[in-house]
Amino acid sequence: MNTMEKNLLGCTSLPLPRLGLRSIPFGWRTDEASAHAILDTYRENGGNFIQGPAFHLADPHATQLSHVADRIVRRWWQARGIPRADLILSARCHPGAATATNLADRLVAACDGALERLGTDYLDLFVLDASDRDLPLSAAREALDLLVRTGRVRYLALTGVQAWRAADTLRLDPRRNHCRIEALQADYSLHRRFHVETELMDLCAEHRQSLIARVALGAERAAVAPGGAWLRDRFAEGSRHHLARTTAAIAANHGATAVQVALAWVLHHPAVTTALVSAYSPAHLRELLDAAYLDLPAETVADLNRASRSQRLALAASRPPPRPSLWRSAFAGA
């Protein structure tokens, strides 16, 4: 079995591989046999961090996708006789329209369902989707703490949360809870940089948290589709077209694909602990795994930074500019 570089999760002793695998395609874009082949390839290359699709407690369709993928993962690791301790299993949950009074019950029930589907009695990482601004985070922290204290979950992470809300929650962690939030998870790529780089990276550094980058690479793959029609349609704006051309040129110079260059750029950032990717075949996964070993010179990274700068700074005209340092005010007097 090959080895893969690993980084510790937050302040814990849990080593996360540089590439994590999302099981979201399993059962709908890939059949079970293909999913097992993807998982075999991942494990053969030293990977062991598997995160299921987000289950939204108010969205039966999304929840059903999660159920199918989880059961495929369960049948895989049990059929292969893999020791449970050799895997890092993660679930991501959106609690829906929860209230402070029913949130704990909803999260416990959701976690118990994931445990049953995955065939385990604990999750290594439970990720709460806090994108709903009406979600009572104080009650959510107490509910998450309950999951850890009852042995259902080892470590916790947040996703979809605004930096100032995460900062406020982290400030209260040592005073009210038994366990820390060890990671923030967010979409991060050449096409989605602004929120992560201006807010979340500083927050993670301040609290010694991990940043788990969820990487979508559809734009890079579609940009090199036969005929280039998608590229002309999707990247009609000069800035995006320039980014696509720059990525493609760098890929050609390195004997790599645009997808590999885009993923390697994410992995080169020292603030990124691990990158979560989806794969639709063993060959696709091997392409992504090779990106973990693609060495991009500093000048190449700088070229990509410049080409994607407009993606980082572009703001909707109808919204006021964000205040990147706003989260710091939550710590005043703490």
Per-residue pLDDT tens digits for 153-197 = 999 999 998 888 888 877 766 666 678 899 999 999 999 998 899
Number of domains composing the chain: 2
Q: Is 23 exposed, middle or buried (0-12, 13-18, 19+ CB in 10 A)?
A: buried
- Dist CA 25 CA 166 (whole Å): 29
pTM: 0.86
Domain end marker among 165, 187, 209: 187
Residues 57, 158 within the same domain: yes
> What angle, 0 to 180 degrees and rounded to 10, lies between the N-to-C axes of helices 60-79 and 103-118?
40
Phi and psi dihedrals of 293, rounded to 5? -110, 10
Whether residue 150 is found in the same domain as residue 248:
no
Is the model's pLDDT at 202 over the cut of 70?
Answer: yes
Residues 111 and 221 in one domain: no
Residues 216-233 have pLDDT tens digits of 886 555 555 544 544 444
Asked, for residue 108, whether it belongs to a domain, the answer is yes
Q: Render the burial of 166-175: b for 16+ CB within 10 Å, e for the rest.
A: bbbbbbebee
Last residue in a domain, options 168, 187, 206: 187
**Does residue 135 belong to any structural domain of this protein?**
yes
Average pLDDT on 62-79 reads 88
Report how far residue 113's alpha carbon sits from residue 55's, in angstroms, rounded to the nearest whole number.
Answer: 11
> What span, in angstroms and rounded, lies between the C-alpha atoms of 310 and 72?
40
Which is nearest to 168 in space by CA: 146, 193, 137? 137
Higher pLDDT, 126 or 320: 126
Same-domain pairing of 37 and 146 = yes
Range of the domain at 178: 16-187
Distance, in Å, from the CA atom of 197 to the CA atom of 183, rounded to the nearest integer, reads: 15
pLDDT in tens, 86-139: 999 999 998 877 777 888 888 998 899 999 999 999 999 999 998 888 888 888
Report the distance separating Cα 130 and Cα 216, nearest Å.
Answer: 20
Tell me the CA end-to-end span of the chain in Å, nearest whole number.
47
